[in-house]
Structure 1
């Protein structure tokens, strides 16, 4: 009975997990599309994948005559070549569009694209047709502007959401006395202000970050005190919640507000996952989670110092997919090595996916990522990268066969003894909750320091194939 349960455990793990195995050589040039224009890599690209595999992306291009970067939206075919039928030979430049920060990009259900950025007067929202032409039915000739809504001090506290047939944007605003606050505006589908929202089309909040939950409620996270009266009202930070029409959600906290009793710590970047949890990460390479009722979620623990066999110098991106979290970051003295990893819902490193790393000549980190079943698309510097994932849907027969490539003396006593037809490159041992413990390279290695219990062994062969085994330490 134990053997059957053990085999089932292994098969379940392999059926739901995958790992990066290589670049997709059928995409662009060896899996990498490079923007040849004078791209300004100080500002991140945003990417959207269509159902046919084509990709829209934005980037900032230096414009000497403007004295600042301008925003460009472009399109790639599924094979990673430029789609010359889009816009003007594959790209659309938004005139008078100041791109001194990362642009925001989203796609409506009708296929039209929305780009959000700023000019000298405030926010700019542009709508582009699927063919790259401006949608003249939106705003004024495709452009809607909202004055006095800017990027935050740290160039993160702004954003764009779709709320059914409405458009929500937020950013930093100020009154005539230089008091700062976040303002949230809602636009109708034609680009005009929706005066039925909040107070004649907008609401003000002291929140640093604004989210839209799965019920279309608006949630703001207060995590520092850059804004007027925030320190007095929320000395430890807090949450404010509004319903979909911008009115306080009175069923939450104290008439829609909740002041934290203890500070969650420094928050550099935050987003809301599919379970309405707020995922936060910062320059100290900490990742933590605040649940939907505003409490620090102690069930999520990410230990960056002990999770990898290298020191993380920067976490550049976190993306959620099906309850798991894919993170990208950098290591090395100059940040020259980038990595992509996967965390389980509890914050542990997924023992199957583990991490992929690559050392390059530049120190740019991975930014926006799209996680698919068989591949990962990511932006980095001047490039868009496409990685292949190992097939997570092998047949049961194939899985059983792959696990026969190596057998262990199980349960393990003092030494880890194995028999295999192929040469082993390394064996990584993880705890049952996914924490990396040690790497083994030789047969009959002493593992007596491991306490009794269940462990996961990931075996990587010299031919780069890998399998996973469950081990029982006696």
Structure 2
């Protein structure tokens, strides 16, 4: 019998194949950039259209004092030494979780705490914008954090800046929202002389979100949902003068995350792997059925990103061999069977603190590393065969992995359909008897640095 060496991509009938396949070896060192400093604190990032990345981290400055810093990577994961001072800018505070936003004019806003809230505006070259606030920083001394060092943030609203956090003394601490003008001064036209006092308290905390109409939505651990119009006045058409009690019992609220999606739904998740969808009218969407029992291990969900009609979730596994995970949910909360569930096998990568999802790659930040992953998002429904001049496999695979390649092979990684690395080899005719019948993903890395991804069937 003459074996036919063919390369085929078998497509699922419902959607395009979109599975993480490998780290991007062209980024930093084998796909992983190491952040220097104190990695016990959270790091946030933002990606520019050219692929470069801003990120925040903590370390000791030249005087030995721990401070927060902002730095920039090129698209290839190398520190951009033209930014700030040799690639970094020392911020005027130290914070457990600095927030980072980019204005439409390219200027950056960072938000942390230094005896109160400090919002600093930075020029694209890494120099502080001294036209903002006082010498580049706007201070709101009254604002602080809740008992989980959370429940604070920054939101951009039509050229203005919304910041929120906790305010008050012990026993009387509440959640408060301020709006800042583009010059760094509190906007007294917002709310009551520049601020809004919400229902959130010190023990419960709050998530503050902006809907597609620039209305402000506040969600608390006690299940209270408030809506304000764009100028901080109660949205009287919602609930009772803008306030509604949600019929859901939240748990571990301060260790969760929330997203306002493109349809004004709130997607809320937490350390207990709860994920719910709250509709714009404040009711819980009963058709959204996320079941954490189908996941490989207990998880702490720290990020939710909406992209192309899906919800990407990520965070940390909570088992004894804790590393991080990335998965993708459909609109009804089920795990997308095409993307499925990816668990990182590198023991140094334990938690994702921030996530960027692009069309063909994912960038994860956490635990002192920025990591870039490639995934295959090139196929569309209806395709059945695609040729590849780099490599061809006998497909279906029988007793061994038999291939023909014009280029020298560096290594071949075989993954399960849910992203688990099962086998790595280089030699042609490597036995495949240790794999059960089914569908697998072959990620081929050539010695010249290029790579290919193939879906294989094992008979």
TM-score interval, normalised by the smaller of the two chains: 0.7 to 0.9
With 54-63 and 379-388 compared, the bigger mean Cα shift is at 54-63
SS at match of 2:272: coil
- CA displacement at 1:13 relative to structure 2: 1.4
Could you say which residue in structure 1 is the equivalent of 2:101?
A: 106
Could you say which residue in structure 1 is the equivalent of 2:422?
A: none
Equivalent of 1:94 in 83, 91, 94: 91
Are 1:380 and 2:366 counterparts?
yes
Deviations 1:44-99 (A, max 9, x none): 111111111111111111359575x311111111111111110001011013x122
Contiguous gaps of at least 5 residues in structure 2: 1-8, 201-205, 402-413, 419-433, 445-452
Equivalent of 2:439 in 439, 456, 459: 459
Could you say which residue in structure 2 is the equivalent of 1:340?
A: 326
Contiguous gaps of at least 5 residues in structure 1: 1-6, 225-236, 408-418, 430-439, 444-457, 470-474
d(CA) in 2 for partners of 1:25, 1:108: 31
d(CA) in 2 for partners of 1:400, 1:422: 24
- CA displacement at 1:174 relative to structure 2: 0.5
Deviations 1:331-367 (A, max 9, x none): 3743433221111111111111112222233363111
1:251/1:244 Cα in 2 relative to 1: closer, same or farther (>3 Å)? same
1:278/1:335 Cα in 2 relative to 1: closer, same or farther (>3 Å)? farther
CA contact (8 A) 1:194 1:201 kept: yes
Are 1:302 and 2:298 counterparts?
no
SS at match of 2:127: coil
Are 1:202 and 2:195 counterparts?
yes
Deviations 1:161-211 (A, max 9, x none): 000010000000015x74011110001000001010000100100132111
Are 1:158 and 2:146 counterparts?
no
- CA displacement at 1:245 relative to structure 2: 0.2
d(CA) in 2 for partners of 1:66, 1:467: 52
d(CA) in 1 for partners of 2:140, 2:219: 23
Could you say which residue in structure 2 is the equivalent of 1:22?
A: 22
SS at match of 1:320: strand
CA contact (8 A) 1:270 1:278 kept: no
CA contact (8 A) 1:336 1:360 kept: no
Equivalent of 2:348 in 340, 353, 362: 362
Structure 1 vs Structure 2 CA RMSD: 3.0
Could you say which residue in structure 2 is the equivalent of 1:212?
A: 210
CA contact (8 A) 1:197 1:246 kept: yes
Are 1:169 and 2:163 counterparts?
yes
Structure with the higher fraction of residues in helix conformation: 1
Could you say which residue in structure 2 is the equivalent of 1:131?
A: 125
Normalised to the residue count of structure 2, the TM-score between the two structures is 0.80
1:217/1:94 Cα in 2 relative to 1: closer, same or farther (>3 Å)? same
1:463/1:63 Cα in 2 relative to 1: closer, same or farther (>3 Å)? closer
- CA displacement at 1:9 relative to structure 2: 8.4
Could you say which residue in structure 2 is the equivalent of 1:119?
A: 114
d(CA) in 2 for partners of 1:383, 1:331: 17
1:406/1:354 Cα in 2 relative to 1: closer, same or farther (>3 Å)? farther
d(CA) in 1 for partners of 2:333, 2:271: 18
SS at match of 1:98: coil
Equivalent of 2:304 in 292, 313, 318: 318
d(CA) in 2 for partners of 1:382, 1:13: 35
1:134/1:261 Cα in 2 relative to 1: closer, same or farther (>3 Å)? same
SS at match of 1:244: coil
Instruction: Count matched residues.
Output: 404
1:361/1:13 Cα in 2 relative to 1: closer, same or farther (>3 Å)? closer
Deviations 1:280-328 (A, max 9, x none): 222222222211111111111111122x3x2124333332223312122
Equivalent of 1:184 in 167, 177, 180: 177
CA contact (8 A) 1:281 1:287 kept: yes
d(CA) in 2 for partners of 1:304, 1:406: 38
1:261/1:340 Cα in 2 relative to 1: closer, same or farther (>3 Å)? closer
d(CA) in 2 for partners of 1:105, 1:335: 31
SS at match of 1:373: coil
